[in-house]
Structure 1
Amino acid sequence: MAVPSTDEWRSIAEGFEERWNFPLCCGALDGKHVLIKAPPNTGSQFHNYKGTFSLVLLAVVDARYCFRVIDVGGYGRTSDGGTLANSAFGQALRGGTLHLPPDRHLPGADHRGPQPHVFVADEAFPLRKNLMRPFPGRTLPRERRVFNYRLSRARLVVENTFGILSSQWRMYHRLMEVQPDVVERCVKATCVLHNFMRRSAEAPAVRGAVQGTEDSLQSLGRVAANNSAREAIRVRDSFMAYFSAEGAVPWQPTE
């Protein structure tokens, strides 16, 4: 249950490049609300934007629909970005202590310089050097639309993983009338069993780790670091230019 090592992060990135045409991607990130009965004396802490009560499962998944890092227990009222900021994973990502592989050139684009390994997420998450989110807006230039398409294609892996998880375990289809700490343990158990079933069906088995508790991530340290917004924009622009040039695929938008 250790946090993925540098070599494992590199293997995950190879999987995203091979299966989803997004190089240097170490995982797709998203949050899932797990419905619960409102715990007593908690006010609106677990009350979410849908009007129900929930705990949040924050997850990073690999290209083969396996959980690699999970953080369970975020309050339903907290946004996805807030849940990330409060999580051990989010603080390790911000502090640069996840031991991601060193920067590398995008395939066939050495002239663009080395780029960092990144995670992909939707617009609910902040843009950072190692966290890519789509460009906002509806009327966008072609290069930005292509980037959004390629990011969405890789990011949908985590949404599909949540769908597979829910279809396997009926507890996600109803209100869980137990204490939040019991819900957390149940969610962690289903994520571990999900990985076991996915890997058992593959040959050879996919190696990796699921972070079911915060202990291993906390051991990486919570170093305060303010990644430059300018650097994050530069990285996204580099990926954007690459997807419309050397990294273009035949089926992406052309107009």
Structure 2
Amino acid sequence: MEHIYLPEPTENIWKKCAEEFESRWGFPNCIGSVDGKHVTIKRPNNSGSNYWCYLHEYSIVLMAIVGPDYKFICVDIGGFGKNSDGGIFETSNMGKRFEQNLMSVPAPRFLPGQNEICSYVLIGDEAFALKPYLMRPFPYKQTLTDVRKEKYNM
């Protein structure tokens, strides 16, 4: 039987993702979308409430970065269901490697038609902390009073 695995993303893989995000979705310098998915499990013995999640079930979390075609680029599986997506990402190996700039992300570049250098970024939802390498939408409450923020989130 052959082992199947996800190779560690290279600078070229990230650049290809960014090109596809820009051509398909009009979002330059985006290298992936990050989110967590709860996977229901039977509660392990002696685990207390570690796996109990807001969905009122026991779960582990599949944390994933996907490209513009929704295919997995990186995954981290096994986070406790009780933890937030943002917390799981920050403590995962891939989150730590992003924080330490060890994920082979390309150097910042000029956006087309612009004269400012911009970093390549992941996109995530409100569960994730804003980081130099991770963009997220404005909180919903702020979009109720600021049309610019509402349009940004679109």
User: Shared fold by TM > 0.5?
Assistant: yes
Instruction: Work out which of the residue numbers 67, 73, 76 in structure 1 matches 2:78.
Output: 73
Distance 2:78 2:56 in 1: 18
1:57 aligned partner: 62
Instruction: Work out which of the residue numbers 99, 105, 110 in structure 2 matches 1:100.
Output: 105
Q: How does 1:1-255 map to 2 (within 5 A)?
A: 1-110=6-115, 113-136=116-139, 137=141, 138-149=143-154
Residues 83/7 of structure 1: CA separation in 2 closer, same or farther (3 Å cut):
same
Distance 1:147 1:92 in 2: 28
Report SS of the residue matched to 1:90.
helix
Distance 1:88 1:144 in 2: 32
Per-residue displacement from partner, 1:191-249 (whole Å, max 9, x unpaired)? xxxxxxxxxxxxxxxxxxxxxxxxxxxxxxxxxxxxxxxxxxxxxxxxxxxxxxxxxxx
Report SS of the residue matched to 1:41.
coil
Q: CA RMSD in A?
A: 1.0
Distance 1:43 1:33 in 2: 18
Alpha-carbon shift at residue 73 of structure 1 (Å): 0.3
Distance 1:147 1:17 in 2: 16
Higher relative contact order at CA 8 Å, sep ≥6: structure 1 or structure 2? 1
Distance 1:92 1:140 in 2: 37
Q: What TM-score, normalized by structure 1, do the two folds share?
A: 0.56
Amino acid at match of 2:51: F
Q: What TM-score, normalized by structure 2, do the two folds share?
A: 0.92
Aligned length: 147
Alpha-carbon shift at residue 140 of structure 1 (Å): 4.0
Per-residue displacement from partner, 1:151-173 (whole Å, max 9, x unpaired)? xxxxxxxxxxxxxxxxxxxxxxx
Report SS of the residue matched to 1:77.
coil
Alpha-carbon shift at residue 63 of structure 1 (Å): 0.6
Which is helix-richer, 1 or 2? 1
Q: Which runs of 4+ in 1 moved over 4 A?
A: none
Distance 2:149 2:32 in 1: 21
Q: For structure 2, which runs of at least 5 residues remain unmatched after alignment?
A: 1-5
Distance 2:7 2:152 in 1: 32
Residues 107/141 of structure 1: CA separation in 2 closer, same or farther (3 Å cut):
farther
Percent of paired sites with the same residue:
40
Alpha-carbon shift at residue 5 of structure 1 (Å): 0.4
